[in-house]
Amino acid sequence: MPTKTGDFRRMDYVKITLFGFALTALWQSLHTIILPLRLLDFVPEAQKNTYLGILTLTGLLLALIVQPVAGTISDRTDSRWGRRRPYILAGGLIATLLIPGIGLFAGYGAVFAVYCLLQLASNTAQGPYQAFIPELVPAGKRGRASGMKALFEICGGIVFVYLSSIFMDKYYHGEGSGWLWLVLGLLMLVVLAATAATVLIVRDPRIAHTRPQASLAATLYRTFKSEIWKNHNFVWFILSRMLVFMAFTTIQQFALYYIQDVIGMSDPAGATARFSIISVIGMVAVTWPAGYLSDRIGRKPLTLAAGILGAAGIAAIAVLETYTAILYAAAVIGVAMGIFNSANWALATDFAPKDEEARYLGLANMATAGGAALARVIGPVIDFFNAQEPNLGYRVMLLVCMAYFLVGGALVLKIRRVR
């Protein structure tokens, strides 16, 4: 892959972001549509938010550890396939084989185990994959590369959320398990295809000098050692990113149940998919321009604006409580997250030093996984307040999300220096 500014072409942006398309297709469809409906087959209705929250919280806590550790190991790998592709290949293939387990097993414990293993495999690949932008893209084009990465992830998510909603609505209404297997089969296909394409067309460089392989304990220590956390600017970045993703993931994870219980839609999967589609239209409209603009005016102003816009969208849902209002709010939230994904990930790549790209971006993405994990904690809170008064838990959820967006956007102002 070229590394000089003039040699990095448009197709190179596509090559290094294909795998992100597949990962987002997998997790967005699982978290937004497939798992919420699949769990209704074997968990009590009154505790569905709790069971869903515990399941996804556990898996994301695993991701929190596995992703930066896999990144650190790949930083120190010297193979003729490069530092990243061996892990992308292994993680992608194992994830492909695990996907059918979501439909094969009909008990909470078994699905729980498959989901956790799927998180381990996926994040083993994702940690090294994330190093492609700082490692291969010239510094002056990283904002645009981050915008392209976000755009591909958005497209992967929305295409498969939409398809999942169509097939899973039929499954939800008792038209047969074949619809569940169809969507799981499509996910297997896209993950396998993206894995193969990435391994074959991306050429990541080998390390410039040989470093001895470390033990697992030494690798864990190196990954999380305290010198990183003494960098207060990096810590503020982590906290800011975590809070914004807590807001977005909370809405995304519990949207189907909110639309089902509060709005009373008869097709909750389809209605949730339409919510996601509208938000994605907002994301797509701004993702690339936001990445380009972040190379011009900086990352922080755009991150702050994203937090304010996200809070405004949540406020509209909380006040109006109609499906039409939810769709308008989805567009606002989508614009907010499109801006945030481009500008904030570009800021993350600015932190990554040479030869430790995967480690730093794995740690930076701890904020994504950590925020997504902590978002699930509100599941039991929703059920608790709903038991006190119908739908009170959902109103509490929306107020908390507004606070997440506002505080997360504002914390980026604490960052003084990147290096």
Give the max Cα distance, the chain: 63
Measuring CA to CA, how many Å separate 222 from each of 102, 111, 218? 34, 33, 6
What's the chain's average pLDDT? Answer: 83
Query: How sure is the predictor about 207, in pLDDT bands with cuts at 50, 70 and 90?
Result: low
Please report whether residue 404 resides in a domain. yes
pLDDT for the residue numbered 284: 81
Q: What is the CATH number of the domain that holds 30?
A: 1.20.1250.20
Helices (H), 202-322: 216-224, 226-229, 232-258, 268-297, 300-320
Residue 264's Cβ-count burial label (10 Å; 0-12, 13-18, 19+) is exposed
Measuring CA to CA, how many Å separate 68 from each of 72, 87, 94, 220? 6, 13, 19, 9
pLDDT for the residue numbered 415: 82
Please report whether residue 371 resides in a domain. yes
Q: What is the pLDDT of residues 170-190, one digit of tens each?
A: 898 888 889 999 999 999 999
Residue with tokens 């078994």: 110
Residue with tokens 């740690």: 363
pLDDT for the residue numbered 223: 55
Please report whether residue 405 resides in a domain. yes
* Closest of 39, 1, 25, 57 to residue 158, by C-alpha: 25
Distance (Å, rounded) from C-alpha 233 to C-alpha 366? 15
Please report whether residue 108 resides in a domain. yes
Q: What is the pLDDT of residues 272-330, one digit of tens each?
A: 878 888 888 888 888 778 877 888 887 888 989 999 999 999 999 988 878 888 899 99
Q: DSSP E strands: which ranges in 90-215?
A: none
Which domain does 342 fall in, by range? 11-204+217-414
Written as one string, the DSSP assignment of 8-32 is --HHHHHHTTHHHHHHHHHHHHIII
SS3 of 297, please?
helix
Q: How many domains does one find in the chain? A: 1
Please report whether residue 1 resides in a domain. no
Distance (Å, rounded) from C-alpha 154 to C-alpha 159? 9
Mean pLDDT for the stretch of residues 391-403: 92
Tokens of 22: 């597949």
Q: What is the pLDDT of residues 220-262, one digit of tens each?
A: 555 555 556 666 777 888 888 889 989 988 887 788 888 888 8
* Closest of 5, 29, 44 to residue 277, by C-alpha: 29
Please report whether residue 209 resides in a domain. no
Written as one string, the DSSP assignment of 336-404 is HHHHHHHHHHHHHHHHPPTT-HHHHHHHHTHHHHHHHHHHTTHHHHHHHHHHHSTTHHHHHHHHHHHHH
CB-based burial, 15-42: b 16+ in 10 Å, e otherwise:
bbbbbbbbbbbbbbbbbbbbbbbbbeee
pLDDT for the residue numbered 96: 97
CB-based burial, 68-100: b 16+ in 10 Å, e otherwise:
bbbbbbbbbbeeeebbbbbbbbbbbbbbbebbe
Please report whether residue 242 resides in a domain. yes
Q: What is the pLDDT of residues 41-60, one digit of tens each?
A: 988 888 887 888 888 888 87
pLDDT for the residue numbered 233: 79
Asked whether the beta carbons of 56 and 111 are under 8 A apart, the reply is: no
* Closest of 318, 315, 248, 241 to residue 279, by C-alpha: 248
Please report whether residue 258 resides in a domain. yes
